[in-house]
Chains A and B, each alone.
Chain A
Amino acid sequence: MKKFNVVGKIERKVDGFSLVKGKPVYTEDLIKDNPLIVKILRSPHAHAIIKKIEKEEALKIPGVEIILTHEELPRIPFTKAGQGFPEPSPYDSYILDKKVRYVGDAVAIIAAIDEKTALLAMKKIKVEYEILESILSIEDAMTKKVLIHDEEESSGIWDKNKNIAAHYDMEIGDVEKVLSESEVVVSSTYRAAAQHHTTMEPHISYSYFDQNNRLVIITSTQVPFHLRRVMSRLYNIPIGNIRVIKPRIGGGFGGKQAYHTEQYVTAVTLKTGKSAKLMLTRDEVSRCTNTRHEFIIKVTAGADKNGKLKAIKMEANSNTGAYGEGALTVFMVCGSKTLPLYNKVEAVSFGGNAYYTNMTSAGAYRGYGAAQGIFALDSTLDEMAYKLKMDPLKFKNMNTIKEGETSDVFRIMGEGKEGVDQIMKSCKLDECVEKGKKLFNWDEKFKNKYVDGDKVRGVGCALVMQGSGIPGVDLGAATIKMNEDGSFNLLIGATDLGTGSDTALAQIAAEELGVSLKKIIVYSSDTDFTPFDKGAYASSTTYVSGNAVIDAAKRVKKQILENAATFMEEVPENLLLENEFVIDKERKNKLSLSELCTKLFYNSNQKQIAATGSFVGDEGPVPYVAGFAEVEVNLKTGKIKLLDYVAYADCGKVINPKGALGQLEGGLMQGIGYAMYEDIIYDKRGKMLTSDFFNYKIPSREDYGTLRCGFVESYEPTGPFGAKSIGEVSLNSPTPAICNAIFNATGVRLRSNPFTAERLFFKLKGGESNNEN
């Protein structure tokens, strides 16, 4: 393997200095004027028609600038999902609508000189609702004769008359036939819960007109370019008249891949000409943005008695809530980024519906359907292993995909459309299993169960995958320009959410240009100054944007060598770029980058060295994680303690070791939260009861035992310096691994997460919990 100078080295985050010093770098910190404060009046009903809105009293309050309702705004159907164009999500949303579809749906936009006035105005607006019957579960959606999206204008909905936002099914081979011929068949239904992103920074945007009367939106978003396009369409403003800036943002995880604030401040700025700020409250972040899609998944698997997996049938239904952000794509990823793992089956099928309900709209969330799918699939295969009396780790791993192999699923299933054929050019899952097994002491712990009175311990494993970007769809681009001190500006549309992508992409540029990291000056996510990028989602930044950076760097390098050749009286082919110098291959003659650029700027052959590169994937290489969990269960109370979690990841070449480790550990912790603690609960009228950190519990520092992680590096030939992705795959393993560990400890299988003490207690007693809400 190639020796690297910058890639693969521990580097401090390029934005780290500001972050650890608490510098003003987030959206709210950047507001220098006194903008209008925007508040959203929201529906108290899960499903209702707005009959009348009286706002005269509110408008009389001094300091109230404007109040907008559906009557004053264009009614253009769109999707809040931040995806490429045309979006594969239904156009079922409106800036404001005459119907509300969940508790928290937007009814009116209020702008006032301060928060106090805006809140006072909110109280004075009188809304008359005609309350409709509501749908508060997937089961309700399947059976109740209530229609959530019966409006004419919405499009892209699979079946409005059945509340089906999206539908998908596929079959490879004859699943029923192979199942009927299988010696061992297991069939189980799992319910994967919804989940809050809980970004520490609430959603916030700030809009104003700049000196040239162009609309500027500074916002905490994962998708600045998609946002610009959608605002242009909604408000009929030329794209060129909109500038979107994403400063540092306080976490995303998919929660900021949709438009939850920007359309409101834009409306206010357009109507008033004044700057406007909207920062959601924690309650609104929880209730009125997106959650993870809840899924009910039935997996039927068939194998022969030697443990060869022969068929998998996955029947899934998801809850997309009031609107269909990612309804189809999340649904498909539930199959497309789980089933290829078990590529040796003779037949496989996947299908079902994404249902509308009158609940908080589901959307993108790290793992994007795969986290839910693999919970059901891996756990079912775990059940199969016990039935076969085999070590589940051995059973799973002998059936997984290996380097050089493929799966038909890749070709058939993409995101919202057909997929792409791809052969696994890099796959070190086997080694992840071996290393994890050893560190975890799997063989010993699996064989010998630890029992101490009422406390029993158990172990579980899970093998998971994801992708790297959306092949054939999502584009990343980068521009590099050279300065006369030998530094380079790296301008990238890519969106660092705290993930460290600015740093990783700068490392990639530095490596290709033969300079140290400090010579790369990163500027990202400003639609006026950085080239297009799809944004941060689908684990794409390192792979897609990273390849774009390489493309740009190669072009710049070519220009450097060509120009240096003139000065050095050499041919470009005989020159190298190394340690900030251009050197001839015999190492006799050299020219520093700063000298070269100074000459080019001021003396002879004058020009600016700069280039833009772009990249769209032909495939989305697969990263893998092998996860291992050890739990201790108190049989008397059902209380579950996570004692140890071990995970090894193959994310290709690791660009920044501590950065990648942080992604892996952070993803695992969100996965642990999803598995054990995080529970969104609604009351009978559809009001969410877990919209704050008091009632919605994410893991704290005392809610896990040891967390031990590592990487098995592979080399992905299509990736930037061999890299794949790490962002999402990191989240997927804990839910199945912990589910399996609980079974190993107790003989009881919890098929709904979170795995609460109460659920386990009543299962242990042989009944179901009375608190299944």
Chain B
Amino acid sequence: MKTILNINGKDYTAEFSEGEKLDKILRRLGFLSVKHSCNSMDCGTCTVLIDGKPVLSCGTFAASATGKKIETVESLSKNEKLHPLQEALLEENGAQCGFCIPGFELTAKALLEKIPHPNEEEIRSYMKGNLCRCTGYERQHQAIMKASKKTGE
């Protein structure tokens, strides 16, 4: 099928077959920040935002996403400028191998929009679906706290 997908505020013509998932299509359209890891909706690596809400693109049929606003990490910052979350991740060493980071950033961004100053418990609860095998989570939680302070100013 051929249809329009709205990605990061722009319309893209996408051609895909009916059984294909969104993660593959986004990568095919050049949004290479979208990663796939488990392909069974168990790790959060492929998280994107649909209408502002974090969902798993490996479990979302691309055909379902037409007419909705899809967001990937490419939308977070332009050129050399970093989003406060990205800045905080760099400062805290919250990205080690970095493979889980695009998914992490999108969930965290949605979290900060929902709860601008989350406490530790809220961070753990909302971010639970984003597994990370490198960091032991602590640096990432610090980064969210730090970004939350910055965006609150």
**Residues on A facing B (Cβ under 8 Å):** 10, 12-13, 15-26, 29, 197-202, 248-253, 281-282, 497-500, 656, 658-659, 661-662, 664-670, 692-694, 698, 700-702, 707, 709
5 examples of A-B residue contacts, CB within 8 angstroms: A16-B90, A20-B98, A498-B98, A700-B128, A701-B127
Do A662 and B96 contact each other (CB < 8 Å), given the known contacts A12-B91, A29-B32, A707-B136?
yes
Which of A21, A497, A702 has a CB less than 8 Å from the CB of B97? A497
* B45 close to A (CB within 8 Å): yes
B101 touches A248 (CB 8 A): no
The answer, yes or no, to whether B49 is at the interface (CB within 8 Å) is no
CB of A282 within 8 A of CB of B39, answer yes
Shortest CB–CB separation between residue B72 and chain A, in angstroms? 7
Q: Kindly state whether residue B3 has any CB partner on chain A within 8 Å.
A: no
Contact of B134 among A251, A282, A702, A709 (CB under 8 A): A251
Complex: A253 Cα to B93 Cα, angstroms = 18
Q: Which 4 pairs show the lowest CB-CB distances between chains A and B?
A: A498-B97, A22-B33, A250-B99, A19-B98
**Are B40's CB and A665's CB within 8 A?**
no
CB neighbours (8 Å) of B125 from chain A are: 702
Across-interface contacts of A16 in B (CB, < 8 A): 89-90, 95, 98
Report A61 CB to chain B, min CB distance, Å: 18
B42–A251 touching, CB < 8 Å: no
Q: Looking across the interface, which residue of chain A has its beta carbon closest to that of B138?
A: A665
Contact assessment for B96 and A498 in the assembled complex, using a CB-CB cutoff below 8 Å? yes
> Closest CB-CB distance, B49 to chain A, in whole Å?
13
B82 contact set on A, CB distance < 8 A: 17, 20-21
Do A22 and B124 touch across chains, with their CB atoms under 8 A apart? no
Inside 8 A of B39's CB, which chain A residues have their CB? 281-282
Instruction: Please indicate the chain A residues that have their CB under 8 angstroms from the CB of B95 in the complex.
Output: 13, 16, 19-20
Interface string of B81-97 (1 = CB under 8 A from A): 01000100111111111
Cβ-defined contact, B105 with A200, below 8 A: no
Query: If A20-B89, A22-B105, A282-B38 touch, does A249 touch B97 (CB 8 Å cutoff)?
Result: yes
A500-B105 contact, Cβ under 8 Å, with A21-B73, A200-B37, A698-B131: no
User: Residues of A contacting B90 with CB < 8 Å?
Assistant: 12-13, 16-17, 20
| B61 contacts partner chain A, Cβ-Cβ < 8 Å | no
Is there contact, CB below 8 Å, between B77 and A669?
A: no
The 8 A CB mask of B31-73 against A (1 = contact, 0 = none) is 0110101111011010000000000000000000000000011
Of A664, A665, A668, chain B has the most CB atoms within 10 Å of the CB of A665
- Look across to chain A and name the residue whose beta carbon is closest to the beta carbon of B127: A701
Q: Which residues on A sit within 8 Å (CB–CB) of B93?
A: 13, 500, 656, 658-659, 661-662
Interface of B is mostly: loop
Q: Contact check, B96 vs A500: say whether CB atoms are below 8 A apart.
A: yes
The answer to whether B136 and A667 have CB atoms under 8 Å apart is: yes
Judge whether A22 and B97 touch: CB under 8 Å: no
Report if A19-B136 is in contact (Cβ < 8 Å); known contacts: A200-B37, A202-B37: no
| B127, A200: Cβ atoms closer than 8 Å | no
Q: Is B117 an interface residue (CB 8 A)?
A: no
Contact B128 A702 (CB under 8 A): yes
The number of inter-chain residue pairs (CB within 8 angstroms) is: 159
State the CA gap A24–B38 with chains docked (Å). Answer: 19
Interface of A is mostly: loop
Task: With both chains docked as a complex, state the minimum distance between the C-beta of A498 and any C-beta of chain B, in angstroms.
Answer: 3
Q: Whose C-beta in chain B lies nearest to the C-beta of A693? A: B42
Known: A198-B133, A498-B96. Is A22-B102 also a contact (CB below 8 A)? yes
Cα distance, A397 to B57, chains bound together (Å): 51
Complex CA gap A10/B92 in Å reads 9
A666 touching B134, Cβ below 8 Å: yes
Task: Given A665-B138, A694-B40, answer yes or no on A200-B97 (Cβ-Cβ < 8 Å).
Answer: yes
Within residues 98 to 153 of chain B, which ones have a CB less than 8 A from any CB in chain A? 98-102, 105, 123-125, 127-128, 130-139, 141
Extra inter-chain contacts (11) besides given A200-B97, A251-B133, CB under 8 Å: A12-B91, A200-B43, A200-B131, A200-B134, A201-B97, A248-B98, A500-B96, A662-B134, A692-B40, A692-B42, A701-B127
User: How far apart are the CA atoms of A251 and B138 in the complex, in Å?
Assistant: 17
CB < 8 Å neighbour of B99 from A12, A23, A201, A707: A201
Q: A13: shortest Cβ distance to chain B, in Å?
A: 7
Q: Which residues of A sit under 8 angstroms from B33, Cβ to Cβ? A: 21-24
Closest residue of chain B to A700 (Cβ to Cβ) is: B128
- The answer to whether B15 has its CB under 8 Å from any CB of chain A is no
Tell me which residues across on chain B come within 8 A of A202, comparing CB atoms: 37
Residues in chain A near residue B141, CB distance under 8 A: 701
Q: How many angstroms from the CA of A198 to the CA of B135 in the assembled complex?
A: 13
Structural contact, B137 and A253, CB atoms closer than 8 A: no
Judge if B18 is at the interface, Cβ distance under 8 Å: no
- Report the bound CA distance from A668 to B139 in whole Å: 13
Q: Closest CB of chain A to B16's CB: distance in Å?
A: 13
Find chain B residues with CB under 8 A from A249 CB. Answer: 97
A735 to B137, CA, bound (A): 19
Q: B72: which A residues are within 8 A, CB to CB?
A: 22
Which of these, B91, B134, B139, contacts A661 with CB under 8 Å? B139
B74 at interface, CB cutoff 8 A? yes
User: In the complex, how many angstroms separate the beta carbon of B135 from the nearest chain A beta carbon?
Assistant: 5
Q: What's the nearest-Cβ distance from chain A to residue B26, in Å?
A: 11
* CB <8 Å contact, B101 and A20: yes
What is the CA–CA distance of A694 and B74 in the complex, to the nearest angstrom?
29
Residue of chain B at shortest CB distance from A697: B42
Q: How far is the CB of A114 from chain B (nearest CB, A)?
A: 11
List chain A residues, Cβ under 8 A from B73: 21-22
**Nearest CB in chain A: distance from B61 CB, A:** 17
| B128 contacts across to A, CB distance below 8 A | 700-702
Given known pairs A17-B90, A200-B99, the reply for A670 and B139 (CB within 8 Å) is: no
Query: A251 near B99 (CB under 8 angstroms)?
Result: yes
Q: Contact check, B98 vs A693: say whether CB atoms are below 8 A apart.
A: no
Given contacts A200-B97, A200-B99, A497-B97, contact A658 B92 (CB under 8 A): yes
Residues of A within 8 A of B86 (CB): 20-21
Shortest Cβ gap from A542 to chain B (Å):
15
Q: B42 touching A201 by the CB < 8 A rule?
A: no
Q: Are A200 and B100 in contact (CB under 8 A)?
A: yes
- Chain A residues within an 8 Å CB radius of B76: 21
**Complex: A623 Cα to B129 Cα, angstroms:** 34
The smallest beta-carbon distance between A676 and chain B, in angstroms, is 14
Residues of B within 8 Å of A497, CB to CB, are 97
**Within 8 Å CB of A667, what residues of B?**
136
